[in-house]
Structure 1
Amino acid sequence: MEALDRSTEPGRLVLVAELDGVVAGFASGEERRHWSGDPELYVGELVVAKPFEGQGVGRALIDALTDHAKQRGLATVTLDTGAANTNARAFYGRLGFDEEDVKLTKWVDGMIGG
Structure 2
Amino acid sequence: MSMEDVVRVRPVRAEDRDAVLALAGRLTEGVAEWRDAQAVVAAARDWLAAFLSAGDAARGAVFVAVAGVEVVGVVSVNTQDHFTGTPEAYVGELAVAAHAVRMGVGRRLVAAAEGWARGQGVRHLTLETAAGNAAARGFYASLGFREEAVRLTRVLDAGEP
Which amino acid in the other structure matches residue 2 of structure 1? Answer: D
- Identity among equivalent positions (%) equals 40
Distance between the aligned counterparts of 2:47 and 2:73, measured in 1?
14
Matched, 1:92 2:140: yes
Which amino acid in the other structure matches residue 73 of structure 2? Answer: G
Matched, 1:17 2:83: no
What corresponds to 2:131 in structure 1? 83
> Larger relative CO (CA 8 A, sep 6+): 1 or 2?
2
- Cα shift at 1:27: 0.8
Which amino acid in the other structure matches residue 49 of structure 2? Answer: D
Matched, 1:68 2:123: no
Provide the aligned length of Structure 1 versus Structure 2: 111
Which 4+ runs in 1 deviate beyond 4 A?
A: none
- Cα shift at 1:110: 4.6
| Corresponding residue SS for 2:155 | coil
Identify the structure with the greater helix proportion.
2
| Corresponding residue SS for 1:58 | helix
| Corresponding residue SS for 2:144 | coil
Identify the structure with the greater strand proportion.
1
What corresponds to 1:50 in structure 2? 98
- Structure 2, unaligned runs of 5 or more: 1-44
Per-residue CA deviation, residues 55-114 of structure 1 (Å, 9 max, x unaligned), is 111000000000110111012111101111111111000011010011010111159xxx
Please point out which of 143, 151, 158 is paired with 1:103: 151
The answer to whether the 8 A contact 1:38-1:75 is kept is no
- Structure 1, unaligned runs of 5 or more: none
Normalised to the residue count of structure 2, the TM-score between the two structures is 0.65
Distance between the aligned counterparts of 1:79 and 1:22, measured in 2?
26
